[in-house]
Amino acid sequence: MSFSILKKIGDEQKKKAVVDVRSGDTVKVTQKIKEGEKFRLQVFEGVVIRTDRKDSHTARITVRKIASGVGVEKSFLIHSPLVEKIEVVKRAKVRRKNLTYLRERSGKSARLSGKDFDRAAVNDVAVPEEEEAPATEAPKEEAPKEEPKAEEAPAE
């Protein structure tokens, strides 16, 4: 009984549609960063070396890139509201789920063999029609137009 309640709550937290991300993909992840009271968008581009729990609301990817000669890894929760967009740039042919062996490699030995794919089709995220909310917007009222004021002559 409690498992079904947890599953229901978890499914409510999921995004309606997400991009199919796999290990070996080169992705651009756009994330919201809060600085003080303001939000800004930051893009992190790298290779997906790990995917976890793809069907869960806690689905996660680990992305690795080399910045200034140092390897940097970042984990992103796919369904997090702070993850704005995930875009697949390149897809590679891999035979594993976890590509952690790339951590010890650099240069040519860290390259993955490319694979042809339809970039537009992969990145096109369509919301399933059954789950779309009906568009019930109230008609917008027009704001009254302000008439230009006549210029007053300066009082002498």
CB environment 107-141: b (16+ within 10 A), e (fewer): eeebebeeeeeeeeebbeeeeeeeeeeeeeeeeee
Do 50 and 23 contact (CB within 8 A), yes or no?
Answer: yes
Contact 111, 102 (CB under 8 A): no
Per-residue pLDDT at 32: 92
Tens of pLDDT along the chain (156 residues) come to 577 887 787 777 777 777 888 888 889 999 999 989 999 999 999 999 999 888 777 889 999 998 998 889 999 998 888 888 888 888 888 888 888 888 888 788 887 887 777 777 777 776 666 555 555 555 555 555 555 555 555 555
CA separation for the pair 21, 125 (Å, rounded): 12
Q: What is the pLDDT of residues 105-145, one digit of tens each?
A: 878 888 788 777 777 777 777 666 655 555 555 555 555 55
Q: What pLDDT is attached to residue 69?
A: 86
pTM: 0.69
Of 99, 128, 125, the C-alpha closest to 112 is 99
Average pLDDT, the chain: 79
Whole-number pLDDT of residue 140: 54
In a 3-state reduction of DSSP, which class is residue 74?
Answer: strand
Domains and CATH numbers, the chain: 7-127 (2.30.30.790)
State the pLDDT at residue 115.
77
